[in-house]
Amino acid sequence: MKAFAPPSPEAIARIQAIAERVLSAEEFCAALAVPLGEAEEEETRSLIRWFRRRYPTPADRLAYARRAYRRWTTARP
């Protein structure tokens, strides 16, 4: 099995630029008009149910988010 190679800082910057670009009103509305597939919606709702069950209060969730962000920045190349 091949070892995981983290993406380069350049690749991360390119992905960030794609995620941060501003869509035109037409692009944005067209994307919103496409409904989520049934499986994708169920997966999303299941994730939300898990998160709310595991972290029942807003305080728990916010604390989780701070821990998760710290982990993510530590692991980032």
Partner 1 sequence: MQGSEFDEAEFFRAITASGARALLIGRRALVALGIPVLTADYDFWIHIDDIAVFNAAVEPQGLFPTRTPDEARGRGRYVLENDERVDVLVARAVPTVDGLRVAFDDVWLRRRALEVAAGVTIAVPALDDLILTKRFGGRPKDLEDIRLLEALRKEER
Regarding 24 and contact with partner 1 (CB under 8 A), the answer is yes
Residue 68 phi/psi, 5-degree rounding, is: -60, -40
Regarding 12 and contact with partner 1 (CB under 8 A), the answer is no
Residues whose CB falls within 8 Å of the CB of residue 9, separated by 6 or more in sequence, listed in order: 77
53-to-7, 58, 62, 63 alpha-carbon distances in Å:
33, 11, 14, 15
**Shortest Cβ 16–partner 1 spacing (Å):** 10
Regarding 3 and contact with partner 1 (CB under 8 A), the answer is no
Q: Which of 14, 52, 67, 76 binds partner 1 (CB under 8 A)?
A: 52
Regarding 51 and contact with partner 1 (CB under 8 A), the answer is yes
